[in-house]
Amino acid sequence: MNTTWYLEMTDPAELKPGREPEGDVRFVRAEVPSPELLRFLYETVGRDYRWIDRNPWTDQEWRDRMERPEVEIWVLHDRGTPAGYAELEAQPEGAVEVVYFGLLPGFLGRGLGGHMLTEALRHAWDLASRRTDREPTRRVWLHTCSLDGEHALANYESRGLRVYRKTTADEAVAGGSAADAAGDKDTRG
């Protein structure tokens, strides 16, 4: 069985920042569409968590995703080396989804996840400042499941996100994510 938790934050004041990492750690927006980079991050971060829904994508599908104006890709760098990423997507009615979020395997357990999530949430809240056609963010949401990293849910809750829905279903089947297999789509935004 696979459990999926849907979490949200409805006020930027609810954000509880993670601790600042030591050293040269930066969270930078990837503004040049690079399907190879996004595919690498997705496949490497998601390999141990059954992220499979995008595996059949062509380079053009990856490029199309990156070029969508409502999508932003943010990459965490530790001393210049990519360490993780977050994919944000602006949605109707002031919602922003954290579509994908995670660290590369070699960077787990170093305290970077709380910092990266803090920065991803800050950028979700200020997304309208980078887009003149965008209404202010009123809600940031994401979902995680029991197939994700063992500390994922705790990290999300520690940053101030709160569970508003929980579902349970059979595990994912080839060709889709666990949430897709469960038929889970956020109906709130």
- Greater model confidence, 115 or 175: 115
Is the predicted pLDDT of residue 181 greater than 50, yes or no?
no
At 73 the three-state DSSP class reads: strand
Q: 10 Å Cβ neighbour count for 63?
A: 15
- Greater model confidence, 22 or 186: 22
Give domain status of residue 188, yes or no. no
Is the predicted pLDDT of residue 174 greater than 50, yes or no?
no
Is the predicted pLDDT of residue 87 greater than 90, yes or no?
yes
Give domain status of residue 123, yes or no. yes
Q: What percent of the chain has pLDDT over 90?
A: 79
User: What integer pLDDT is reported at residue 171 of this predicted model?
Assistant: 66
**Which residue carries 């970077």 as its tokens?**
112
The CATH number covering residue 49 comes to 3.40.630.30
Give domain status of residue 189, yes or no. no
How many structural domains comprise the chain? 1
User: What integer pLDDT is reported at residue 133 of this predicted model?
Assistant: 82
User: What integer pLDDT is reported at residue 172 of this predicted model?
Assistant: 52
Q: What is the mean pLDDT of the chain?
A: 89
**Which residue carries 């003149």 as its tokens?**
132
Q: 22-71, pLDDT tens digit by residue?
A: 999 999 999 998 999 999 999 999 999 989 999 999 999 999 999 999 99
Instruction: Using alpha carbons, select from 149, 179, 145, 168 the residue that is nearest to residue 48.
Output: 149
Give domain status of residue 43, yes or no. yes
By residue range, what is the domain housing residue 42?
2-181
Give domain status of residue 66, yes or no. yes
For residue 130, what pLDDT band results from cuts at 50, 70 and 90?
Answer: confident
User: What integer pLDDT is reported at residue 175 of this predicted model?
Assistant: 36
Give domain status of residue 59, yes or no. yes
For residue 182, what pLDDT band results from cuts at 50, 70 and 90?
Answer: very low
Q: 134-165, pLDDT tens digit by residue?
A: 889 999 999 999 989 888 999 999 999 999 99
Order across the sheet with 162-169: list the strands: 25-29, 71-78, 81-91, 95-103, 139-145, 2-9, 162-169
User: What integer pLDDT is reported at residue 150 of this predicted model?
Assistant: 87
Give domain status of residue 39, yes or no. yes
Contact 27, 116 (CB under 8 A): yes
